[in-house]
Structure 1
Amino acid sequence: MKKAWVICCIVLAVANWHCRRSPDGEVNLAGKPNIIFLLADDMRFDALGCTGNKYAITPNIDALAAQGTNFKNSYVTSAICCVSRASLFTGQYAKRHGITDFDKDLPVEALQNTYPSLLRKNGYYTGFIGKYGVGTNLPSWTFDYWKGYPGHGVYFYKDAAGNTVHESTLMGEQAQEFIKNRDKSKPFCLSISFKAPHSEDGVTENNGFRPDPYFNSWYTNIQFPYPDSYEEKFYTCFPARWRKNEQNVQNEGRVRWNMRFSTADKFQTTYHAIYRLVSGVDKVIGELRDYLRANKLDQNTILVFTSDNGYYMGEHGLEGKWFGHEESIRVPLIIYDPRMPQQQKIVEQMVLNIDLAPTILTWADVSVPNKMQGESLQPLLSGSTAKWREDFFYEHPYDGGPSAYIPKSVGLVSPTWKYMRYYNGNNSGKGVIYEELFDVPSDPHEKKNRINEAEQQSLIKMYRWKVGQYEKQLR
């Protein structure tokens, strides 16, 4: 009996030694944080109570922001799900990771250098739940736990008992399953990618937005106001070539606006459904936090909440994302690290979706690959006042494919000025359709394009030059 006990101790010691090593050398897993990455789909920066929305019922996300850090100026480098998600995984611009449409997969080498793969290589137990969104071949083999799906998915599923369950609720249940059944000798990283509040294309109910029936009575007494740039003149100010292409195909943003925001009834129906979907995500996050507390995991689990891009809700006569306005490219970002009681509460600096992969690796004490182009947010979380980026390059290389028209774009965004260039073709400097220049502080709803003002021409020339420099440097 004693001999068996000794052998058992030796086996456990060896197993423990192995779990503290990676193929690249010593890795001490003791005390490393768990990480949960929560990604909404098409949730704009101002869709939450904690980001200034007086209508949104989001108490759980608001509490997360109050206890953690709220990044007031968080942006995506390309506002479309396939490109943005590839950037979130790789920490790279599209010019480097090469994902510019819905069909292309990340190459194996790139997959091996995403934040989940690098964490797994260095001793983490990893999981993915929800909409993957990059290419057509799902990389389930790169995770320990996989509940991802291809494409955009649907909002209602059948559970094991045959009951109908909303996608957001199902993902919350899968998250708890992951935590319950994980390898408890390792820290974990779970990526949860909601469909909400994205539309379900091809569905007419609520103009394509399908919240959980639990929320059917929510927001019913609210008559949502029209946005500042809703009037027709804010769409007709775009040139004819931007509104329709040579084949007379209408801009996809306008096509979808007609479907969802063009009448008072459509407008209110869409708004009510979207806010119910947002509240559905909030409910799941609250239940997940309760589960972490009940299992004594809350004090060592970092939570990150953001979105893959923003979403026009009638502004500029548009629906969708893609283009360079704030509604499209600016997203919420909240980080809660329970190990940092003195973490910065509000961050004003401009941060990007490509910053999240290096930040996650920094938390896990894993080396950040040189090919990642983002910066760790850890200094900002700690309240550092060191110099940070002064602007960033925006790119949208997807043109909508054969059945839709989406003008491509590049641009430069700073806290004071925003420059955007829309074009067709493979060269952003040729086939230019339209340019925009907005004074961001004085014109937050971007209603006055100043591209033709004589006094701004030297600034415009400099911004054009900087865009060209970024295009060369970021490959």
Structure 2
Amino acid sequence: MRTNTLLYLLFFAACIVSPVRGQEKNKRPNIILMVSDDHAYQAISAYGYGLNETPNIDKLAEQGALFTRATVTNSICAPSRAVILTGKHSFINGKVDNVQPFNWDQDNFPKELQKAGYATAMIGKIHLDGLPQGFDFSMVLPGQGHYYNPDFIINGEKKRIQGYVTDITTEYALRWLKEQRDKEKPFLLIYNQKAPHRNWQPAPEYLHLYDEADFTPPDNFFDPETGYEGRGTAAKTQEMQVDGHAVWGHDFKFLVSPEGNETGFDKELNRFNEEQRAQWEAAYGPKNRAFIEKYFAEKKIDPKKIEKNVDGKKILIDNKTREKEIALWKYNRYIKDYLRTIKSVDDGVGELLNYLEENDLTDNTIVIYTSDQGFYLGEHGWFDKRFMYEQSFRTPLLMRYPKEIKPGTVVDELVQNLDFAPTLLDYAHVQVPSEMQGESFRDLVNGKSKEWRDAVYYTYYEYPSVHMVKRHYGVATKRYKLIHFYYDIDEWEMYDLKKDPQEMNNIYDDPEYAEVRADLHQKLKALREHYGDSDELQEEYLNTYLEHQARGKKE
């Protein structure tokens, strides 16, 4: 009798405890991490720059948090994504540039979530060689990928899919959420868009978006005309000017340059199907012809209209005006295409948010939107990234989690992409591996704590290479920035972001800032020691990079 009673009580207790354990398990949040490529914070309307409208991305800030000083540790695509995954600086995870291989065997936060019972998927661009590890399902673009009719590697199998890459990425992300994941488990979805990476090819439905708009460039767009006065060698020798380094074919979408030369862009259009190509040529052909007719038709410049400048040299006044107008046209072609691709990205975000709402998943799902780094939208006359200067160093970061984050929260602290991995593991109640170098900002964004770091560390390695941005490392606080450019130069730059937010005046040798400079040097030294960086380690990566380049030239 006693035995039967005891068994009954144990059975009854199990019936009570089991559902509770199941409920506790289900309380772990779902996670959607959205990482676009080269999406400048200036091109998200929640940040207030007025360039474009991104209503779906903005919802994350309205219903959650907007980070105003989120930054990256290395402003270039593949290394940044490696930092996001591993929670370790580039010089620790080994992916310091786009050339070095990435070791998927090392730990990453999706592996930890997978081991903890999460269903995991990565869909879109990752730009890291090798088969992704830590995912039940992966569908990634090889390398940079293509905008039209892209190839995807689906769990190791390569397949070409007809359509536009942003739409395809969204479609398959939704397919995984709806049909393929184990719905008994919490999920992690890493949803990575190729856009708005160069060369900014818009979707068919947005080829005419902004046709009637006339965008005014940033105030320092004509910075190249000053010779980057007040800056050092690095700013002067870069190769990323919208007017000067962007090319007629790949960037401005001309089949034949205004001078009458084949641009090679026709090869890119060969990937398009007949309908896509017809839409493309109908959109760009007339605009390109109108530009050539206006600025490159014969006898547009009256050679009699000249005057002498202070040096006694004759200048064609009309030609100077023409060159400025062409530069402004190039800026408009660039920014319109860039923003057109973002429109599709915002549409995709909206589709995923709608899915969560329709399936009662909003409250228990963390949604983060970010980019692998910032981007120049004409500031200093530039496109691209790489520099530790503000527009590429900063990255957009918006986050929603209704259970913990109050709507309209604004975070001004120096959060980095280094912190994503430990933060997400913290939310999932998974122990953060000791080798991860970031910090969880969970209590920062939910308001439980105001304690946070006062400085961040940055490195950039890929030189000599495309865009020719010098190797550098540095430290940034909320107000100041100290940068050391090295390898073939040895120059220091320092900026006061409060007085000089556009970083136009290097104050490193200004005696008024001597104490600030000394303090920044101390912070830089301490951060390098803390994270494990050194001149010797940089030299090691440099030699490996140069050896790789030498092998490539021989091959």
C-alpha change, 1:281 and 1:400, in structure 2 (3 Å) is farther
> One-letter code of the match for 2:119?
Y
In 2: Cα distance, 1:293 partner to 1:363 partner: 21
In 2: Cα distance, 1:225 partner to 1:256 partner: 15
Confirm or deny: 8 A CA contact 1:197 1:209 kept in the other structure: yes
Which of 420, 423, 434 is residue 483 of structure 2 equivalent to? 420
Whether 2:245 is the aligned partner of 1:258: answer yes
Aligned residue for 2:454?
A: 390
In 2: Cα distance, 1:32 partner to 1:412 partner: 36
Which of 145, 148, 151 is residue 137 of structure 2 equivalent to? 145
In 2: Cα distance, 1:310 partner to 1:368 partner: 27
Which of 515, 537, 542 is residue 458 of structure 1 equivalent to? 515
Aligned residue for 2:183?
A: 184
In 2: Cα distance, 1:461 partner to 1:341 partner: 38
Aligned residue for 1:154?
A: 146
Aligned residue for 1:193?
A: 192
Query: Secondary structure of 1:46's partner?
Result: helix
Deviation at 1:107, TM superposition (A): 2.8
Aligned residue for 1:210?
A: 201
Confirm or deny: 8 A CA contact 2:444 2:451 kept in the other structure: no
Aligned residue for 1:127?
A: 121
Aligned residue for 1:435?
A: 492
Aligned residue for 1:268?
A: 332
Query: Secondary structure of 1:351's partner?
Result: coil
Deviation at 1:362, TM superposition (A): 0.8
Query: Secondary structure of 2:509's partner?
Result: coil
> One-letter code of the match for 2:334?
T
Query: Secondary structure of 1:320's partner?
Result: coil
> One-letter code of the match for 2:511?
A
Whether 2:220 is the aligned partner of 1:229: answer yes
In 1: Cα distance, 2:337 partner to 2:210 partner: 9
Aligned residue for 1:87?
A: 83
Deviation at 1:86, TM superposition (A): 0.8
C-alpha change, 1:106 and 1:164, in structure 2 (3 Å) is closer
What residue ranges of structure 1 are gaps of 5+ in the alignment?
1-12, 22-26, 200-207, 245-249, 426-430
Which of 361, 377, 391 is residue 327 of structure 1 equivalent to? 391
In 1: Cα distance, 2:89 partner to 2:343 partner: 31
Deviation at 1:472, TM superposition (A): 2.6
Confirm or deny: 8 A CA contact 1:82 1:133 kept in the other structure: yes
Aligned residue for 1:247?
A: none
Deviation at 1:267, TM superposition (A): 0.8
Confirm or deny: 8 A CA contact 1:228 1:445 kept in the other structure: no
Deviation at 1:28, TM superposition (A): 5.5
In 2: Cα distance, 1:133 partner to 1:238 partner: 36
C-alpha change, 1:105 and 1:124, in structure 2 (3 Å) is farther
Deviation at 1:159, TM superposition (A): 10
C-alpha change, 1:119 and 1:319, in structure 2 (3 Å) is same
Query: Secondary structure of 1:130's partner?
Result: strand
C-alpha change, 1:313 and 1:343, in structure 2 (3 Å) is closer
C-alpha change, 1:227 and 1:234, in structure 2 (3 Å) is farther
> One-letter code of the match for 2:138?
W
Deviation at 1:398, TM superposition (A): 2.1
Deviation at 1:35, TM superposition (A): 0.5
Per-residue CA deviation, residues 372-415 of structure 1 (Å, 9 max, x unaligned), is: 111111111211343211111111122244x6632011111111
Confirm or deny: 8 A CA contact 1:79 1:396 kept in the other structure: yes
Percent of pairs with identical residues: 32
In 1: Cα distance, 2:524 partner to 2:63 partner: 38
C-alpha change, 1:404 and 1:162, in structure 2 (3 Å) is closer
C-alpha change, 1:345 and 1:242, in structure 2 (3 Å) is closer
Aligned residue for 1:405?
A: 468
C-alpha change, 1:158 and 1:71, in structure 2 (3 Å) is closer
> One-letter code of the match for 2:338?
I
Per-residue CA deviation, residues 79-99 of structure 1 (Å, 9 max, x unaligned), is: 001111111001111122121
In 2: Cα distance, 1:59 partner to 1:458 partner: 44
Per-residue CA deviation, residues 311-370 of structure 1 (Å, 9 max, x unaligned), is: 112222332111111111111101100223636611111111111111110111000111
Larger % of strand: which? 1
C-alpha change, 1:421 and 1:67, in structure 2 (3 Å) is same
Aligned residue for 1:10?
A: none
Aligned residue for 2:297?
A: none
Per-residue CA deviation, residues 91-119 of structure 1 (Å, 9 max, x unaligned), is: 11112212112243333542xx2111110
C-alpha change, 1:435 and 1:318, in structure 2 (3 Å) is farther
> One-letter code of the match for 1:188?
F
Aligned residue for 1:428?
A: none
Query: Secondary structure of 2:333's partner?
Result: helix
Deviation at 1:45, TM superposition (A): 1.9
Aligned residues: CA RMSD: 2.8
Q: How does 1:14-93 map to 2 (within 5 A)?
A: 29-93=25-89
TM-score (norm 2): 0.72
C-alpha change, 1:382 and 1:230, in structure 2 (3 Å) is same
In 2: Cα distance, 1:461 partner to 1:175 partner: 49
Confirm or deny: 8 A CA contact 1:77 1:393 kept in the other structure: yes
Per-residue CA deviation, residues 107-151 of structure 1 (Å, 9 max, x unaligned), is: 3542xx2111110011001000111122x2122x53111111221
> One-letter code of the match for 2:193?
F
> One-letter code of the match for 2:478?
P
Confirm or deny: 8 A CA contact 1:411 1:418 kept in the other structure: yes
> One-letter code of the match for 1:252?
E
Aligned residue for 1:5?
A: none
Query: Secondary structure of 1:151's partner?
Result: coil
In 2: Cα distance, 1:80 partner to 1:256 partner: 22
TM-score (norm 1): 0.84
Deviation at 1:258, TM superposition (A): 2.4
> One-letter code of the match for 2:342?
V
Aligned residue for 2:322?
A: none
Confirm or deny: 8 A CA contact 1:344 1:383 kept in the other structure: no
Per-residue CA deviation, residues 15-61 of structure 1 (Å, 9 max, x unaligned), is: xx9xx89xxxxx96222111000001111222111011213121111
C-alpha change, 1:344 and 1:226, in structure 2 (3 Å) is closer
In 1: Cα distance, 2:105 partner to 2:403 partner: 33
> One-letter code of the match for 1:54?
G
